[in-house]
A and B are shown apart, each in its own frame.
Chain A
Amino acid sequence: SQKIEQNSEALNIQEGKTATLTCNYTNYSPAYLQWYRQDPGRGPVFLLLIRENEKEKRKERLKVTFDTTLKQSLFHITASQPADSATYLCAPYNDYKLSFGAGTTVTVRA
């Protein structure tokens, strides 16, 4: 069956450090993979999209990598800030829809 696994533990990091989140998927062959941010009680918000033929994508302090051989995506938040504290969701795009992992909760300490 299809499965999406993200870091099972929450991440607690010091402000200014880099947070690295992992997303592993099985039984998917997504042409695209998206990352979303979700704050408590709110809907997810799109952050980044990476295509299967792209190895890396950057947007401001965010970086995503996509390894279709390993079936893995890494999501990095550099120079983290307390405002980055949220849950981050990995979402392979397949068959015209997104499927989501359970998310990784990141807390950035000032």
Chain B
Amino acid sequence: DTGVSQDPRHKITKRGQNVTFRCDPISEHNRLYWYRQTLGQGPEFLTYFQNEAQLEKSRLLSDRFSAERPKGSFSTLEIQRTEQGDSAMYLCASSFLGDGTEAFFGQGTRLTVV
């Protein structure tokens, strides 16, 4: 399967714990995005990378969130000191460079903070 893959698919954690999610984009894609989606809402932009450079981070993103993309390949999203409000689906997407190009999404990681 050459699509975008995310791991794990589901994560249940206790409040205050740290969690890390992984995203493997389509290998030829230079751009990688992280989004968060809650029930009944559309995906909300968190951050994006072009190769290994993190070019934009949402102003809504707490400093408990950090993302990396070492060597411009896979990416990780870490949430420190999780809160119940962090419960959501975390989606990763990748795309080619170029304006307006379509994004390919992974299946997401469903986080539940108890």
Q: Chain A: residues with CB nearer than 8 A to chain B?
A: 4, 31-32, 34, 41-46, 49, 51, 89, 91, 93, 95-103
Contacts and interface: CB of A to CB of B under 8 A. Distances in A.
Interface residues of B, number: 26
Contacts of B105: 43-45
Given A43-B91, A43-B93, A44-B105, A100 B42 contact: yes
A95 B108 CA distance: 24
Given A31-B99, A42-B107, A96 B31 contact: yes
Interface in B60-110: 91, 93, 99-100, 102-108, 110
A51 B100 contact: yes
A69 B41 CA distance: 26
20 contacts: A31-B100, A32-B99, A32-B100, A34-B103, A43-B91, A43-B105, A43-B106, A43-B108, A44-B43, A46-B102, A93-B99, A93-B100, A96-B48, A96-B50, A100-B35, A100-B43, A101-B42, A102-B40, A102-B42, A103-B42
Nearest to A89: B42
Contacts of A34: 100, 102-103
- Most chain B CB atoms below 10 A, which of A31, A41, A44: A44
Kindly list the 8 A-B residue pairs having the minimum CB-CB distance in the complex, ordered from nearest. A43-B105, A100-B42, A32-B100, A46-B102, A100-B43, A93-B100, A102-B42, A44-B105
Contacts of B104: 46
Contacts of B43: 44, 89, 98, 100
Nearest to A46: B102
B33 interface: yes
Contacts of B110: 41
Contacts of A100: 35, 42-44
